[in-house]
Amino acid sequence: MKRLSSPDELETLRETITKGRDPNKPCITICGGTGCHAYGCDRVIDAFRQEIKQQKLEAKVDIKITGCHGFCERGPLVVIKPDNIFYQRIGEKDVPEIISETIIKGNIIDRLLYVDPNTGKKVTYEHEVPFYKKQERVVFGNNGYIDPTVIDDYLVVGGYSALGKVLLKLSPEQLIDEIKKSGLRGRGGGGFPTGVKWETCRQAHGDIKYVICNADEGDPGAYMDRSLIEGNPHSILEGMVIGAYAIGAHEGYIYVRNEYPLAVKNAGIAIKQAEEYGLLGKNILGSGFDFSIKISRGGGAFVCGESTALMASLEGKVGEPRAKYVHTVEKGLWDRPTDLNNVETWANVPLIINRGVDWYTKIGTSNSKGTKIFSLVGKINNTGLVEVPMGITLRDIIYGIGDGIPDGKKFKAVQTGGPSGGCIPESMLDLPVDFDELSKVGSMMGSGGMIVMDESTCMVDIAKYFLTFLEGESCGKCVPCREGLKRMREILTDITEGRGKEGDIELLENLSATLTDSSLCALGKTAPSPVLTTIRYFKDEYEAHIKDKRCPAGVCKELLTYRIDDDKCIGCRLCEKVCPTEAITFVEKKKPVLLDQEKCIKCGSCYDVCKLDAVIRK
């Protein structure tokens, strides 16, 4: 690699690389994100390489291992360019046929196409897949086009051109003004205006300043940042260099979860390549501006996603938060001015510079500009990562993109904002999704987790689940969070196990107020949200547990009773075979079995296997 000494040299290199590539040459792109790795994409990749070698097609066909495409439910995914033929759930056995039929003969293999469940029609091209139609993939879109370990791929799609423009044409003050005009807000959860944060950090006293990318992402079920840094690490690096130039920082860190090995690997490769091209390090593109980035692996603590705890961890200390009256933009890492933004925020920056503020501000709502990537998981047909314009409704996401609830069940709630987010009921499905609207109903945007629940979900149990998680992840530094979460979890446990009593709901609300008002950091302040919103929107379920000792969803085992319907049971013995405690006794064929209540542990195995609805659960 040649070290570039000016923005003009960068553009010349980009043109050279682009001209050296044939846009009409078939290219088999295989999703290499973590989700597809779990489905065995490594074996599919090896099979393609072997088949192409065997068919002597190395000069005629390219293979590209990309980052996550988002449609994780259907992995491993293969998209054949330039036509964008979309094949899903590909196994090793499918590879020879793809090469012989699609690559050599140009035929479409119907059985590998996605079938639209609403129309029954097979979809040939990626952009026609309903999952992608309502998305606006401006940040996440390049994941499907580039190999994250090849910097030239990023250059071909316009990579680092924003950096060149900034260094050549904009002063730090002009750059900050552009980001402020764009309305970009932090995508890590707080939603604080990015330009204002940059400006405050630039104006803070101190010659040494730092820029940090928060890639800790501890929310259960969330993996947006992971997939961005795995699939397009250079977009984050470029955003960080631009931000550092604006602030006057010369050192930066990517704080990433140690449980993200592919993200760590790809970010490390990207940093090395950017340094070799002169896009990181000393005298970047001949501008006289110096900036370096190091990777720091987090220890897996959820609380280290909080800014001050993260910085303490970076310093080698225990990851504990500190009082919020000390702002990190003034006294952050090593008590020096520090700007912290999350992965998705940094990835937005080059787009704003390249496409302009006017383009960016046309996306989203008046106070929430741009797009947001959500991790759509839970009781939904199409799980995966979705990027949508701010202001889209929950209904459009869950039904238009996620294709609704599996097995014909009814939608019940969706939790947004991670474990500290609120649970939003069916009556609010038409709620616009942006920072302000979610806050109004007791939830929040958070980093982008979106967990869908169906009618079989117990809302009291789900509140207990998230509170248990938060209790375990609390650093324990402040009393309200340490003791308050424990006491709230104990109350919820009592309610779900049949020991709930009058006054428990009010006590939960009082404890929630104490945590919100008195906790040291955002973990404790927002922890009551799952409890408060489930009480607010599903109070009848709490009352059923407390007053009637009944779980309407049939989840809380201690409140359930199983019995046999003698009129329906034919003694088929299926339930007897799966019962782990021998609580079911077979009498004779065509006679109902007997269920010993003293031996029954209420596991529900008999209920699950009975095909005649002869097991009654109440």
Please give the Cα distance from 123 to 115 (Å, whole number).
6
Contact 149, 266 (CB under 8 A): yes
Please give the single-letter amino acid code of residue 291: F
CA 123 – CA 140 distance, rounded (Å): 22
d(CA 13, CA 476): 53
| Strand (E) or helix (H) holding 515 | helix 504-518
- Portion of the chain with pLDDT greater than 90, in percent: 86
Query: Phi and psi at residue 590, in whole multiples of 5°?
Result: 70, 10
Token reading at 329: 């933009």
Burial of 419 (0-12, 13-18, 19+ CB in 10 A): buried
The closest alpha carbon to 373, from 99, 19, 612, 135, belongs to 135
Omega before 82 within 30 of 0, i.e. cis = yes
Crossing angle of helices 224-231 and 343-355, rounded to 10°: 60
Helix (H) or strand (E) holding 437, with range, is helix 435-440
**Which residue pairs, CB below 8 angstroms and at least 24 apart, start in 306-315?**
306/521, 306/522, 306/523, 307/214, 307/332, 307/340, 308/332, 308/521, 309/475, 309/521, 310/212, 310/214, 310/216, 310/255, 310/340, 311/212, 311/338, 311/340, 313/255, 314/212, 314/253, 314/255
pLDDT (0 to 100) of residue 302? 85
Could you tell me if 301 and 258 are in contact, meaning their C-beta atoms sit under 8 angstroms apart? no
Ranges of the chain with pLDDT below 50: none
Q: How many CA atoms lie within 13 A of 193 on its CB side?
A: 13
| Tokens representing residue 415 in the block | 């939790």
Give the span between the Cα atoms of 384 and 574, in whole angstroms: 36
- Residue 566 is which amino acid? D
Sequence-distant contacts of 478-481: CB under 8 A, at least 24 apart: 478/518, 478/519, 478/520, 478/521, 478/524, 480/514, 480/515, 480/518, 480/519, 480/520, 480/524, 481/515, 481/519, 481/520, 481/521, 481/523, 481/524, 481/527
**Quick check: 207 and 253 in contact, CB under 8 A?**
no
Res 447: pLDDT:
82
d(CA 533, CA 459): 10
Q: What's the rounded Cα separation, in Å, for the pair 46 and 503?
A: 62
CB 559 within 8 A of CB 550: yes
Q: How far apart are CA 151 and CA 143, in angstroms?
A: 13
The conformational region for residue 284 under phi > 0 = left, psi -120 to 50 = alpha, else beta, is: beta
- pLDDT at position 118: 84
Q: Which residues pair with 563 in a beta bridge?
A: 616
Query: Rounded to two decimals, what is the model's pTM?
Result: 0.92
